[in-house]
Structure 1
Amino acid sequence: GVTPVIRFRNPDDGIVTWNDAVYGPISVSNTELDDLVIMRGDGIPTYNFAVVIDDFDMQISHVIRGADHINNTPRQINLYKAIGAPLPTFAHLPLIHGEDGKKLSKRRNAVSVMQYDEMGFLPETLFNYLARLGWGHGDDEMFTREQLAEWFDLSDCSRSPAQFNMKKLLWLNHEYMKKADNARLVELLKPRLEKRGADLSKVKDLCGLVGFLKERENTFEALADASMLFFADNPVDASSLPGLLKDKEEASFEAMKLFVEKAPSIDWKKDNIYGLMKEIMDEKGVKVLHLAIPLRVLATGAEKTPSIDATLQFIGRDRVLARLKEGMDQWAKQSAGN
Structure 2
Amino acid sequence: MSTVRTRFAPSPTGYLHVGGARTALFNWLHARHTGGHFILRIEDTDRVRSTDASVQAIFEALQWLGIDYDEGPFYQSDRLEAYNTHIDRLVDAGHAYYCTCAPEAIEAMREKARATGAKPRYDGTCRDKGLGPRPGAVVRLRAPFTGTTVVNDRIKGAIVFANEELDDFVLRRGDGMPTYNFAAVVDDMTMNITTIIRGDDHVMNTPKQILIYQALGHPLPEFAHVPMVLGHDRTRMSKRHGATSVTAYRDMGLLPDAFINFLARLGWSYGDQEFFTRSELIEKFTLERVGKSAGVFDPVKMTALNADHIQAAAPADLAPHLRPFLAARGWDAADDAYLQAAIATLQARSKTLVEMAEQAHFYFNDAIALDEKAAAKFLKANVLDPLRGLRDRLVALATFDEKALEEVFAQVMEQFDLKLGKIAQPVRVALTGTTVSPGIFEIITVLGRERVVARLDRAIDHIVHKTP
Alignment TM class, shorter chain as reference: 0.7 to 0.9
Deviation at 1:159, TM superposition (A): 1.0
1:61-80 to 2 correspondence within 5 Å?
61-80=194-213
Name the CA distance, whole Å, in 1 between partners of 2:324 and 2:140: 57
Root-mean-square deviation (Å): 3.4
Deviation at 1:226, TM superposition (A): 1.7
Cα deviations across residues 225-263 of structure 1 (Å, max 9, x unaligned)?
A: 2222122234676975785259xx665444334323433
Deviation at 1:71, TM superposition (A): 1.0
**Partner in structure 1 of residue 359 of structure 2:** 226
Specify which of 150, 161, 166 is matched with residue 33 of structure 1.
Answer: 166
Specify which of 109, 114, 121 is matched with residue 254 of structure 2.
Answer: 121
Does the CA-based 8 Å contact 2:189-2:218 persist in structure 1? yes
Specify which of 278, 289, 292 is matched with residue 156 of structure 1.
Answer: 289
Name the CA distance, whole Å, in 2 between partners of 1:282 and 1:166: 50
Q: 1:331 to 1:241 in 2, by over 3 A?
A: farther
Q: 1:273 to 1:64 in 2, by over 3 A?
A: same
Aligned partner letter, 1:154: L
Name the CA distance, whole Å, in 2 between partners of 1:39 and 1:183: 53
Q: 1:203 to 1:24 in 2, by over 3 A?
A: closer
Cα deviations across residues 10-57 of structure 1 (Å, max 9, x unaligned)?
A: 433433323210011212223433332233333433222333344444
Cα deviations across residues 75-127 of structure 1 (Å, max 9, x unaligned)?
A: 33333334443332221111223345343457965455444443333333333
**Partner in structure 1 of residue 391 of structure 2:** 260
Q: Which TM-score applies when normalising by structure 1?
A: 0.81
**Partner in structure 2 of residue 287 of structure 1:** 419
Name the CA distance, whole Å, in 1 between partners of 2:239 and 2:372: 49
Query: Which runs of 5 or more structure 1 residues have no equivalent in the other structure?
Result: none
Specify which of 283, 288, 306 is matched with residue 438 of structure 2.
Answer: 306
Aligned partner letter, 2:295: A
Name the CA distance, whole Å, in 2 between partners of 1:241 and 1:111: 40
**Partner in structure 1 of residue 130 of structure 2:** none
Specify which of 429, 443, 450 is matched with residue 318 of structure 1.
Answer: 450
**Partner in structure 2 of residue 12 of structure 1:** 145
Q: 1:276 to 1:33 in 2, by over 3 A?
A: same
Q: 1:77 to 1:332 in 2, by over 3 A?
A: closer
Aligned partner letter, 1:300: T
Name the CA distance, whole Å, in 2 between partners of 1:203 and 1:53: 50
**Partner in structure 1 of residue 225 of structure 2:** 92
**Partner in structure 1 of residue 108 of structure 2:** none
Name the CA distance, whole Å, in 2 between partners of 1:175 and 1:236: 31
Aligned partner letter, 2:442: A
Name the CA distance, whole Å, in 2 between partners of 1:324 and 1:334: 15
Deviation at 1:68, TM superposition (A): 0.3
Name the CA distance, whole Å, in 2 between partners of 1:192 and 1:148: 28
Q: 1:20 to 1:232 in 2, by over 3 A?
A: same
Name the CA distance, whole Å, in 2 between partners of 1:156 and 1:12: 37
Name the CA distance, whole Å, in 2 between partners of 1:230 and 1:149: 37
Q: Is the deviation greater in 139-148 or in 215-224?
A: 139-148
Aligned partner letter, 1:51: A
**Partner in structure 1 of residue 339 of structure 2:** 206
Deviation at 1:275, TM superposition (A): 3.5
Secondary structure class of the residue paired with 2:435: coil
Cα deviations across residues 122-159 of structure 1 (Å, max 9, x unaligned)?
A: 33333333333221222333445444344322121111
Does the CA-based 8 Å contact 1:125-1:172 persist in structure 2? yes
Q: 1:9 to 1:334 in 2, by over 3 A?
A: closer
The answer to whether structure 1 residue 140 and structure 2 residue 273 are counterparts is yes
Aligned partner letter, 2:226: L
Q: 1:159 to 1:272 in 2, by over 3 A?
A: same
Q: Which TM-score applies when normalising by structure 2?
A: 0.61
Cα deviations across residues 274-307 of structure 1 (Å, max 9, x unaligned)?
A: 3433443344333333212321223332233222
Provide the aligned length of Structure 1 versus Structure 2: 334
Does the CA-based 8 Å contact 2:230-2:296 persist in structure 1? yes
Secondary structure class of the residue paired with 1:260: helix
Does the CA-based 8 Å contact 1:6-1:38 persist in structure 2? yes
Q: Is the deviation greater in 211-220 or in 45-54?
A: 45-54
Secondary structure class of the residue paired with 1:205: helix
Aligned partner letter, 1:303: T
Name the CA distance, whole Å, in 2 between partners of 1:235 and 1:49: 62
Query: Which runs of 5 or more structure 2 residues have no equivalent in the other structure?
Result: 1-99, 103-135
Aligned partner letter, 1:223: M
